[in-house]
Amino acid sequence: MSAAESLTPTSYITHHLSFLQQPVAQGDFWTLNVDTITVSVLLGVIAFGFLWWVVRGATSGVPGRRQAFVELAVEFVDDQVKGIFHGDRHAFVAPAALTVFVWVLLMNAMDFLPVDWMAGLYAMLGLHKFRSVPTADINTTFALALAVWFLMLFYSVKVKGLGGWLHEMFCSPFGSHPLLWPANFLLNVIEYVSKPLSHSLRLFGNMYAGEIIFLLLGMWAATGLAGTVFGAILGAGWAIFHILIVVLQAFIFMMLTVVYLSMAHESH
Amino acid sequence: MNINLTLISQAVAFAIFIWFTVKFVWPPLRTAIDNRQKTIAEGLAAAERGKTDLELAARRSADVLRETKEKSTDILAQAERRAQQIIEDAKAAARVEADKVVVSAKAEIAQEVERAKQGLRERVAELAMTGAEKILRREVNATAHADMLAALKQEL
């Protein structure tokens, strides 16, 4: 945003909620949100690079502090998966859950960075539009939810066979009587549609709302010194509350991933 | 807030991260944790075994101690008995020896008495002879009365 424009609440919020976009072809769809991709990939590379670095030197003996920390996270995820998924969880489901949890947690945690400081920092780097929180971009949450959805379909068909899956689509949950087939099928389709929607929108809504509330609280600063102090106090309160939301949403996202994948492995 | 190509690129990134975790992060850590669990389980089992062994050893040592005590008591009793017996034996032997000494002393005393009697007898006979000689010097021949004297001597 240029200095010549007047600073109104609308322009302030719009400025903070604009993506750094790069069109790659004609059409609205063929655009990349460079900020989302950069931050999320950077976080992923750092997180999983760190995990890989620790795990490569993992010892069966007394673990060091770094290894103990990683093991704590892994055991936490593994315990959750153990309670839900009955099968060989080490082959795929548990590591996938770890990936989801760590990555989403870090992407959510970007919300802790003070919005205006980050905007200033990005402006110094010549980026006037840049959003720090990848999970406040619906593309990210939809991408994750859809990936889980496709995995769900894949495992449904793989475990039960195509016939078994189709049988389940038409014969559960009400029964296998032909008259009940349409009802069964309709319900299953609704379920398949609603799963990725609720999965992705829950995370997106929480993170987007969190970001907007930070921006609204930031606007207190426009009312003078008292407003700045007041806004800072409220902002601190919201940030503390947000710690809970960030971790909880990452946890819920992981749990739903595990639940969906384990439902795909079990026949009704 | 529109859906765009970011969706696909994020999905690809997600897939790559999952693949990376499944392939490189999870297995080594699982192995390390499993191995450690095994080591700890073995250690606990060994400790349990050690405890049992210790208990067994304690019981055995108590047994051995008790046995030894019993044996030593036996030995003491035996030794006492043996000493008693030796004393008894010695007493009996001493008594026999003493009896023997007494008997031989008595015999010797009897012999001595006999010998003294013999000497006295001879001496009395001599004295009688001498007296008789002195009396009879004048009236009787010694040789003529020798038979009578000998009979006299025998009577003494």
Q: At which residue do the structure tokens 């919020």 appear? A: A13
Of A48, A60, A74, the CB nearest to B36: A60
The letter for the amino acid at A118 is M
Share of chain A above pLDDT 90, in %: 47
- Nearest residue in B to A38, CA atom: B10
**Could you give phi then psi for residue B33, rounded to 5 degrees?**
-65, -45
Per-position DSSP letters for A86-141, written without gaps between them: -S-TTTTHHHHHHHHHHHHHHHHHGGGS-HHHHHHHHHHTT-SS----GGGSHHHH
Model confidence over B76-87: pLDDT tens digits? 999 999 999 999
Model confidence over B90-126: pLDDT tens digits? 999 999 999 999 999 999 999 999 998 888 888 888 8
A188 has catalytic annotation: no
A108 has catalytic annotation: no
Confidence of residue A4 (pLDDT cuts 50, 70, 90): very low
Residue A53 predicted with pLDDT over 70: yes
What is the enclosing helix (H) or strand (E) of A81? helix A65-84
B28 in contact with A, Cβ within 8 Å: yes
Of B21, B24, B32, the CB nearest to A59: B32
A27 in contact with B, Cβ within 8 Å: no
Model confidence over A23-36: pLDDT tens digits? 887 877 888 888 88
In this prediction the pTM is 0.74
Give dist(CA A235, CA B87) in Å, integer. Answer: 110
- Nearest residue in A to B30, CA atom: A90
Query: B128 with B152: CB under 8 angstroms?
Result: yes
Query: Cα distance from A59 to chain B (closest Cα, Å)?
Result: 6
> Could you tell me the residue ranges of all domains in chain A?
3-264
Residue B17 predicted with pLDDT over 70: yes
Please give the pLDDT value at position B137: 66
The letter for the amino acid at A268 is H
Give dist(CA A39, CA A224) in Å, integer. Answer: 33
Least Cα distance to A151 among A258, A250, A37 occurs for: A258
Cβ B13–A71 below 8 Å, yes or no?
Answer: no
Q: Which residues pair with A22 in a beta bridge?
A: A32
Give dist(CA A214, CA A231) in Å, integer. Answer: 9
Residue B149 predicted with pLDDT over 80: no
Residue A116 predicted with pLDDT over 90: no
Query: Cα distance from A2 to chain B (closest Cα, Å)?
Result: 22
Catalytic residue from among A18, A139, A188, A202: A202
Taking contacts as CB-CB distances below 8 angstroms, the residues of chain B near A93 are none
Cβ B4–A55 below 8 Å, yes or no?
Answer: no
Cβ A52–B39 below 8 Å, yes or no?
Answer: no
Taking contacts as CB-CB distances below 8 angstroms, the residues of chain B near A41 are 13
**Cβ neighbours, 10 Å, residue B26:** 25
Query: A208 with A9: CB under 8 angstroms?
Result: no
A89 has catalytic annotation: no
Burial class (CB in 10 A: 0-12, 13-18, 19+), A59: exposed
**Could you give phi then psi for residue A23, rounded to 5 degrees?**
-70, 135
Give dist(CA A28, CA A16) in Å, integer. Answer: 21
> Cis peptide before A95, with omega less than 30 degrees from 0?
no
**Could you give phi then psi for residue A33, rounded to 5 degrees?**
-85, 95
Of B17, B27, B28, the CB nearest to A48: B17
Residue A3 predicted with pLDDT over 50: no
The two three-digit tokens of residue A89, written as one number? 């969880």
Query: Cα distance from A241 to chain B (closest Cα, Å)?
Result: 25
Least Cα distance to A108 among A85, A135, A146 occurs for: A135
